[in-house]
Amino acid sequence: MARSTGTSANRRIDIVAAAIEVFAEIGYYRATTAQVAERAAISQPYVYRFFTKESLLVEALGVSWQRIIQAFQHVIASSKPKRLERELISAYEEIMHAHRSEILLQLQAQTITEQPIREAMQQGMGQVQKLVQEAFEKAGMEDAAARTSDFLARGMLCNVAMAMEMPNLMHKK
């Protein structure tokens, strides 16, 4: 159960954290805001004070994409060009282990067709793609666009392998 943090801003964070867990566990369509409220240890009307179910998923996706972007920005700022790709992979693996529910949430959201959710996914993936490709270009990697595409594809395969509990699908480089 989420603990009460007091302020409205902190309660919003609690609600989003609870939603990430609930949506990842049982899926967006099966989950209810009542389940999210229960996980956050608040009333359902209080959830609706801040979010609809759809806007809650969009917010949760934003949190998950920001975590990846910030981790990648940190790696890019501190990594040597020859180690860049390996360190980005390591940063992503850390996120997969520490924030598994966020990755499962993104994986599920790839199939959701509601426009705000699709836009949140497109925006997040687009930001990551741009960030990685620009870093690969700056590092002088040959065919940075193709390397970026391969990097993202491997990341998506890692997501599937994690979700299916099939680590043998992941190829270490």
- Read off the CATH number of the domain in which 101 is found: 1.10.357.10
Structure tokens at 133: 């490709």
Shared-domain flag, residues 7 and 69: no
Confidence (pLDDT) at 6: 57
Which range marks the domain in which residue 138 is found? 53-169
Of the candidates 77, 64, 167, which has an alpha carbon nearest to the alpha carbon of residue 123? 64
pLDDT of residue 3 exceeding 60, the answer is: no
The reply to whether 79 and 104 lie within a common domain is: yes
Judge whether 33 and 48 are in contact, CB under 8 Å.
yes
60-96 pLDDT, tens digit per residue, is: 999 999 999 999 999 999 999 999 999 999 999 999 9
- In this predicted model, what pLDDT tens digit does every residue of 127-154 receive, in sequence order? 999 999 999 999 999 999 999 999 999 9
State whether 37 and 66 are in the same domain.
no
The model's pLDDT over 5-22, given as tens digits with 9 standing for 90+, comes to: 458 888 999 999 999 999
The pTM assigned to this predicted structure is: 0.91
Judged on CB neighbours under 10 Å (0-12, 13-18, 19+), 39 is buried
- Provide the domain count of the chain: 2
Question: Is the domain of 19 the same as that of 95?
Answer: no
- Torsion sign (Cα): 98, 73, 146, 107: positive
**Does one domain contain both 27 and 59?**
no
Whole-number Å distance between alpha carbons of 56 and 13: 11
Helix/strand/coil percent split, the chain, to 5:
80, 0, 20
Domain boundary among 35, 51, 67: 51
